[in-house]
Amino acid sequence: MAVSSTYYLNAPSLGSATAVFSNAALTTLAADGFYSDGVISREQVSGVLLPQQTCPSCATPCGETINASGGQGIYLLDLETGTTVGDVGAVIVRFEPYGVPDGIRGTLGANVYNKLVSSVDGLHKSTNAGSFTYVGQTGADCGISGTTYPALAEFTYNGTTFIATGDTQSVTVAPGDVSLGASAPGNCLMVIPKLTASPSIINFEVVGPCSGTAWQMSVACPELLTGFSSSVSAVSSVAACALSETTTYYNASLADTPGTVGLYDLVFADAYGATPLTAGFYRASGSITGGNDWFQVSSAGVVIALGTCGPVAYTIDNSASGSALSACSGSTTTSTVYALPGYNVPIVGMIFYNSTSLTTPFVGSTGWRKFSNGVTNYAGEVNSSGELTNYSTC
């Protein structure tokens, strides 16, 4: 196992040096062995560096599940997500901290990720950019908020288990970092967008600030998210139910049902999981759990509510006309009628009903009538059973 320490070279880089020294004056040769700058490695034999070799990645490959348990400390995991042009997409991280609070963050390149969602209570995210987000159960809190831990033992993953490095780190838990709940959060989900092949290593850090820690993490390899049909954003569920599904969005699913939206899922405008959906209401009939028709998104891009569309209200002329053109001229007498949920725009075969109970069809003389969903005016042929047999836009 490699050990990190400070050494000195007699050249600007390891590649151009002839020897490695243990002191800045370059008077004491370092012990024989292998030395690496993370990119190349060279073996020193009898005080002379041999030809360089390219270092293979020492990071843990994606697609594995890592279990940790131990004492108070900071646990480090370097995870390899692939270096080819196809190794891009959303990296789905599932993290279960059980009850005792743990802090987590992941770093890819210059970007730090600390937003989690829980199937129990939704969003968990530090209010401080780049900080750890601490999740767990309030009843298991050991007083972490506002506490500085000056010398947390450092552990690193060696592919099998976490081992002590011998170093320590100082960590301060700001109040805004703490996001505990009344119960354990269960399996939490994080999304890290990987847009390019490089950088490929995600550096995970997990802080166990209490006397002991136990958690599980699984990190999937990058993959484009599954899309689903949806409307654009609306200001209310009623307004969303009046919209057509004209666009494609993407979800990172807590229940592992890609393309089917569930409560507390993360939803995105892109397949990489880089652009959260804007706050609002969206219609996505057939793509939501429980047979729901619409979902609501918070400003954090989290699904916070689901619901069904009620009967769709239309205004309709009481008197019929002989043509679409004459019907579009309108009538001074109208009634409010209703169609089945989902009929937010006219569909041949839809039936107009007299009430929201959708039991009694609208009955009137046959012919062309002007009708409106509150957004667009139409002319339609309605038979004596309230069925729309033909229509056109006015």
Residue-wise pLDDT for 10-20, tens only, equals: 998 888 899 99
Contact at 8 Å (CB) between 268 and 301?
yes
Report the candidate in 316, 303, 312, 289 with the shortest Cα–Cα distance to residue 240: 312
Supply the pTM of this predicted model. Answer: 0.73
Q: Which residues touch 204 (CB under 8 Å, ≥6 apart)?
A: 76, 77, 78, 79, 104, 105, 106, 107, 217, 219
Around 130, how many Cα atoms within 13 Å sit in the side-chain half-sphere?
Answer: 4
On the question of pLDDT at 56 being above 60, the answer is: no
Given a cut of 80, whether residue 330 has pLDDT beyond it is no
SS3 label, residue 379: strand
| Nearest Cα to Cα of residue 369 among 311, 315, 327 | 327
- In whole angstroms, give the CA distance from residue 113 to residue 120: 21
pLDDT per residue as tens digits for the range 291-300: 899 999 999 9
**In a shared domain, residues 99 and 47:** no
Q: How far is CA 50 from CA 6, 28, 32, 80, 333, in A?
A: 20, 18, 11, 28, 96
Residues 196 and 231 placed together within one structural domain of the fold? no
Mean pLDDT of 226-234: 97
Distance from C-alpha of 341 to C-alpha of 331, rounded to nearest angstrom: 26
3-class DSSP state for residue 106?
Answer: strand
Count of structural domains, the chain? 4
Does some domain include residue 134? yes
Residue 103 lies in a domain: yes
- Residues 209, 232, single domain; the answer is no
The per-residue pLDDT for range 122-140, each reduced to its tens digit, is 999 999 999 999 999 999 9
- Asked if pLDDT for residue 250 goes beyond 90, the answer is yes
| pLDDT tier at 2, thresholds 50, 70, 90 | low
Question: Is the residue at 352 inside a domain?
Answer: yes
Average the pLDDT over 187-212 and give the result.
Answer: 95
Q: Could you give the CA distance from residue 394 to residue 346 in angstroms, rounded to a whole number? A: 13
Its domain, for residue 27, covers 8-54
Strands annotated E in 136-246: 148-157, 162-172, 188-194, 201-219, 227-230
Residues 175 and 67 in one domain: yes
Work out the average pLDDT over 99-116. 96
Tell me: the pLDDT tens digits for 70-95?
999 999 999 999 989 999 999 999 99
Q: Does one domain contain both 213 and 351?
A: no
- Which pLDDT score is estimated for 319? 84
Q: Span 190-219, mean pLDDT? A: 95
Q: Which amino acid is at 265?
A: D
Which residues is 105 bridged to in the sheet? 205
> Residue 39: what pLDDT?
67
Do 185 and 318 sit in the same domain of this protein? Answer: no
Is 3 within the bounds of a domain? Answer: no
**Do 196 and 88 share a domain, yes or no?**
yes
Nearest by Cα to 164 from 297, 34, 74: 74
With 70 as the cut, is the pLDDT of residue 50 above it?
A: yes
Phi first, then psi: what are they for 37, rounded to 5°? -105, 15
**C-alpha of 17 from chain center:** 46
* pLDDT for res 57: 59
**94 touches 179 (CB < 8 A):** no
Does 160 lie in the same domain as 95?
Answer: yes
Same structural domain, 211 and 231: no
1 domain-assigned: no
297 lies in a domain? yes
